[in-house]
Amino acid sequence: MIEHRVELSGGAMLHVEEDGQGPALLLLHAGVADRHMWDGQWAWLSRSFRVVRFDWRGFGETPHVPGPFSYTDDVVRVMDALNIPKAILMGCSFGGGVAIHVTVEHPERTVGLVLVGAGLPGYAGENPLK
């Protein structure tokens, strides 16, 4: 496993880990966790993919730095820093919502999506239980 520190806007430093070879797969953790939520899948996925995970700002080993920022821009910055032109984005809950935003704003950077309990920010769907 290789560990990186990626500088973000506002001077924030993102803690990033990568392992494996093959197509790039970014693991975007839920808003109630940190990058370690993917520990159970890490070794298995790294046998077939170049797997990348990181802690969002204010989670795990990435401290929060006050000031405006975009989670979408943070994902793209990680991809740029690790020389990843395109990736599959796997996001859980909050991370899935960010994956959707990255795909909408930068479709050329996304090969595919794996969404686990992801919401679609800005969309008010109908309640199917009514």
pLDDT tens-digit profile, the chain (130 residues)? 888 888 888 888 988 999 999 999 999 999 899 999 999 999 999 999 999 999 998 888 888 888 889 999 999 999 999 999 999 999 999 999 999 999 999 999 999 999 998 877 666 667 666 6
Supply the pLDDT for residue 59.
86
Q: Is 47 exposed, middle or buried (0-12, 13-18, 19+ CB in 10 A)?
A: exposed
Supply the pLDDT for residue 60.
87
CATH number at residue 20: 3.40.50.1820
Q: Per the domain annotation, does 121 fall within a domain?
A: no
Number of domains in the chain: 1
Supply the pLDDT for residue 121.
66
Residues 6 or more apart from 54 whose CB is under 8 A from it?
6, 14, 15, 16, 17, 35, 62, 78
Supply the pLDDT for residue 12.
86
- Cα–Cα distance, 28 to 96 (Å, whole number): 7
* Structural domain boundaries enclosing 62: 2-116
